[in-house]
Amino acid sequence: MKRILFFLVIFLLISLLVFETIFIFQNQSESIIEIPTNHTNIEPEKYYNIEEFTILNPNIYLAINDTERVRYILKVDSNYDEKLTFHSTNPSVASVDNYGNITSNSSGTTNIEVKIKDETKIVQVTVTDLIIKKPSTPNASKTILTCGLYTEEENNLLDEILKSRVNDAGESTRAGVVAAARFITLEFPYRLSYFSENGRVTTYGNTTYVDGEGRYYHKGLYLHKSRTSNITKSMYGPNPWGCYIYSVPSEGKRKNGFDCSGFVAWILLNGGFNPGDIGAGISVVPDMTDLGSKKRLKTSLENSELKAGDLLSGIGSNGGHIAMIIGIKDGKYFVAESLWGNYAYGVIARTYSLESLQNNFYWHIDMDEYYKNDGNYTEYWL
């Protein structure tokens, strides 16, 4: 009888051990989390491992009354059963909802605390009136920039915002270039003047070596006199955008800004590429139309081949003007360009119908091979 009882006890102990092992492995998907052997009142779904928790936009810059969403990567094991929480340390500047959607309310800075379990990440939000909310349709009639409107600190902040826009889209990608173009035409509150250049920092043919007069082949914005230290050689400058300089082609003083190819060169440089301070083309020397594959615009429209970031060349088959597509929506084409004329003047984003696009441009420069990578590409900005 004692022997029977002994074997019965052994059998029960072995059964309990088997049951314990099955319970543990059923409640940990990767055998990483140690669940206590005494599992009275245990909630197994609360035991999980955070494999990755990364904020993709740790620095956010917003205009007043604008919105942005906290973007993140969160990878956990299969027992995940807990939500992220979001909290603004200064909701009067920017508030945040339960889904990470931020709304800007007034100028200033705040931190958005993003928390899960016992881990917290910080998103720094800067709200400023130095930029405006992107409109659904570009405003080609913004006020022309005048001289001396910005301090050095404000110029620095605008440079940071531009860099952030490019980085978020993907520097050295199609999207990064488009982000630079959208920033200066949609978010910057003023319109830069058209300025017939006095020369370039890329020399060929009869081009005079001049820096920063109708062109600005440097990263960032040229708004404060501190930026004149970037200028390598002047003819009648240096003087920032909006300030008067004598223009040799115009035979008079004009507010410094961009000609058409100087503007596109600046966009490409700030988007992460280095095309050189080259002209609009079409010419016997390297120019903008040589950067990509040159196609008849009419054919590209018929084949729906246009993308934001592609270049457009006109007037007529011989070129002479260069511009960049920055958006396509509902049959409308939004084009960033620097224009001289009574109907449109300066650096603007202009809206074209299909018909008006064909009437104003002859060549489509397909930039796929130049960019190689689309980055975080969007066909339209909203």
DSSP sequence for 88-139? ES-TTTEEE-TT-EEEE-SSEEEEEEEEETTEEEEEEEEE-TTS-PPPSS--
Residue that is written with structure tokens 């980055």 in the block: 375
Ordered per-residue pLDDT tens for the chain, 382 residues:
555 555 554 555 444 333 333 222 222 223 222 323 333 333 434 445 788 899 999 999 999 999 999 999 988 876 666 788 999 999 999 999 999 999 999 999 999 999 988 899 999 999 999 999 999 999 999 999 999 999 999 999 999 999 999 999 999 999 999 999 999 999 999 999 999 999 999 877 678 999 999 999 999 999 999 999 999 999 999 999 999 999 999 999 999 999 999 999 999 999 999 999 999 977 777 899 999 999 999 999 999 999 999 999 987 777 789 999 999 999 999 999 999 976 679 999 999 999 999 999 999 999 999 999 999 999 999 9
Q: State residue 83's pLDDT score.
A: 81
> What is d(CA 96, CA 121) in angstroms, rounded to the nearest whole number?
14
> What is d(CA 188, CA 210) in angstroms, rounded to the nearest whole number?
26
Q: State residue 7's pLDDT score.
A: 53
> What is d(CA 377, CA 175) in angstroms, rounded to the nearest whole number?
5
> What is d(CA 311, CA 268) in angstroms, rounded to the nearest whole number?
11
Angstrom CA distances, 173 to 72, 160, 337, 377, stand at 21, 19, 20, 9
> What is d(CA 109, CA 93) in angstroms, rounded to the nearest whole number?
6
Category of 100 on φ-ψ map: left (φ > 0), alpha (ψ -120 to 50) or beta: left
> What is d(CA 35, CA 33) in angstroms, rounded to the nearest whole number?
6
> What is d(CA 178, CA 169) in angstroms, rounded to the nearest whole number?
8
> What is d(CA 63, CA 103) in angstroms, rounded to the nearest whole number?
10
> What is d(CA 235, CA 246) in angstroms, rounded to the nearest whole number?
9
Distance of CA 6 to the CA centre of its chain: 75
Q: State residue 20's pLDDT score.
A: 34
Residues contacting residue 15 through CB under 8 Å, at least 6 positions apart: none
Q: State residue 85's pLDDT score.
A: 94
Q: State residue 16's pLDDT score.
A: 39
Backbone angles phi, psi at 315, to 5 degrees: -100, 130
Would you state the structure tokens that stand for residue 236, as one six-digit string? 């009648």
Closest CA to 323 of 356, 289, 295: 289
Q: State residue 265's pLDDT score.
A: 97
| pTM summary value | 0.85
